[in-house]
Amino acid sequence: MPRLAYVDGQFVPLAAAAVNVEDRGLQFADSVYEVVAVFNGRLFDWDGHAARLARNLAALAIAPPMADAALARVARRLIAANRATEAILYLQVTRGVARRDHVAAALRPTLVMTVRPFDFAQRVGQQMAGVGVITVPDERWARCDIKTTGLLANVLAKQRARDEGAFEAWLVAADGRVAEGASTNAWIVAADGTLVTPPLTPRVLPGVTRAAVIEAARERRIAVAERDFTVAEAQAACEALITSTTVPVLPVVRIDGATVGDGRPGPITTQLAAAVWDRVAVQTGYRP
């Protein structure tokens, strides 16, 4: 069965899916996006993604393409049409199509959705072994809390990580503070067992999985501190980890080649990974 995409009101074969050459998402990255996990054909943590999408559209004064309930219906129809069970839903909303000019009047937004298979079970092996990260200077724009498609700095950081044999790149300010990963949120576990992650500022994306992990930690009486930490503090920490929709929780056992803790996934990270998979099971019935 050919894969289908949704483009501006139409379900079309993925190979034929296209947007106007003067779409502002293409020419200016004047657009926002969401990536949503699909387990057993069901959307995971949809409410969190829909709320963040609405916030980001409002921040950029882009009109919502449709009501939240209608958006969910279209997403589910696309998942069903692709017979997707374990997959990633990609959703993008651009400001719309207009003659190329930095300033645009109110436009009808462009909505694009795609679904692709994704093997979440692969993360189980990575959770058991842990992954490495490198650190790179944070060269992104000043509103990283808005999930726009302007991701060139992230792409270059991620490519550098892969070229150096690491899974992720942590983006670091000039004073040594870690902001987040190129496509993940960053965490450490301090010596007293406190789970630490940078606070939500314009430099940090409010991750949907980030919020779920904080909730899970507090339910398990794990202390949580939303504060900055440096690369040096992370390298000396008991544990480190990253989270995102596609991860969802991965232990970090090396930072710039330095071993974190004893070089193995720690107990708090392992507990939080299990908690997120429990959350997946409750919502969708899926277990890796």
Confidence of residue 167 (pLDDT cuts 50, 70, 90): very high
> What is the rounded average pLDDT of the residues 116-139?
95
Both tokens assigned to 236: 């000396």
DSSP string computed for 54-121: HHHHHHTTPPPSS-HHHHHHHHHHHHHHTT-SSEEEEEEEE--B-SS-SS--S-PPEEEEEEEE--TT
The domain defined by 123-284 folds into: D-amino Acid Aminotransferase; Chain A, domain 2 (3.20.10)
Q: Is the peptide bond before 248 cis (omega within 30 degrees of 0)?
A: yes
Q: Report pLDDT for 288.
A: 87
Mean pLDDT of the chain: 97
Residue boundaries of the structural domains of the chain: 4-118, 123-284
Q: Can you name the residues that pair with 132 across neighbouring β-strands?
A: 254
Judged on CB neighbours under 10 Å (0-12, 13-18, 19+), 122 is exposed
Which CATH number among 3.30.470.10, 1.20.1270.360, 3.40.190.80, 3.40.30.10 corresponds to the domain 4-118?
Answer: 3.30.470.10
| pLDDT per position as a tens digit, 200-243 | 999 999 999 999 999 999 999 999 999 999 999 999 999 999 99
* Section 99-106 average pLDDT: 90
Q: Report the greatest alpha carbon distance in the chain.
A: 57
Give the per-residue pLDDT at 105: 81
Please report, rounded to a whole number, the percentage of residues in the chain having pLDDT higher than 70. 99
Alpha-carbon gap, residue 132 to 72, rounded angstroms: 36
Tens-place pLDDT, residues 233-275: 999 999 999 999 999 999 999 999 999 999 999 999 999 999 9
| Local structure of residue 16 (DSSP, 8 states) | G
pTM for the whole structure: 0.95
Task: Pick the catalytic residue from 24, 147, 158, 279.
Answer: 147
pLDDT in tens, 170-200: 999 999 999 999 999 999 999 999 999 999 9
Residue 1 in this model has a pLDDT that exceeds 70: no
Q: Is the pLDDT of residue 2 over 80?
A: no
Q: Is 158 a catalytic residue?
A: no
Backbone conformation region of residue 257, classed left if phi is above 0, alpha if psi is from -120 to 50, else beta: left
